[in-house]
Structure formats: C-alpha cells, structure tokens
Amino acid sequence: MEKLSLQEEEVMQVIWQYGEGSVKTFLQEFSAPKPPYTTIASTIKNLEKKGFVTSKLLGNTYIYSPNVSEEEYKQTFMQGFIQNYFNNSYKEMVNFFVKQKKLKPKDLQDIINMIENNKK
C-alpha cells in the first residue's frame, strides 16, 4: 500500500468519516475555503486508481466508498514510519517525543496503563 499525498489523505479522512457518498457529498464536509469540485473529483479518481476507493454508478452520479479501512492504512503507514525513522523501535519513538517535551509523565503512565490492560 502506497503512502497517500496530503490532499489524498484529507479526502480519505472525509470518505472514512462519511462512509459512502458522491463528490458533492464529500465536498460539503470541507471547511471554508472549500477546494474546487474538480479538485476533489480528480483526487477521488486518483484514489480509485490506487485502489483506496470503489465506485458504483447510481443514476448519473458516482457513489464512492472506501476500499481500504482507516485502520488498515494507519497500521501500514505507522509500521513504515516506525521502521524508517526509529529503527523499528517503539521505545525509540517514545524517547524521541519525551526529549522533544511532547510527552509528560502522566502521558507515559497512561501508556503504561494501556499496555498493562491489554495484556489481560
């Protein structure tokens, strides 16, 4: 699965949130200033070519739905991210955020609690 561009990710976020709809439906979910209709339509066509969405013709309107779940995409992207930037070490990733002062002791304790609760 390839990494999506920022624009493609933004459109996929809307599609994942909405589940199914037309270009017009998805366009309504963007905040102002809204991108042009043609930009969203073109992006969705690219996502379809890449296999991220599927379409069906309903009357004279194409209805699009996700072909890849948000969870699948996150898992693939995050695995690559951890592998490429942190030598496949989640510990190194956490350490990076601690050094950047992005994680506080309370956050780390919450992470420990999540890990311990998932063991059961």
- pLDDT, mean of each 10-residue run, the chain (120 residues): 88 94 93 92 96 95 95 88 88 87 86 81
User: How many angstroms separate the CA atoms of 67 and 48, rounded?
Assistant: 9
User: How many angstroms separate the CA atoms of 2 and 22, rounded?
Assistant: 24
Residue closest to 90 by CA, chosen among 77, 81, 101: 81
Read off the pTM.
Answer: 0.74
Residue 89 to residues 17, 62, 73, 83, 86, Cα–Cα distance (Å): 31, 43, 20, 7, 5
Q: By the 8 A CB rule, do 93 and 87 touch?
A: no
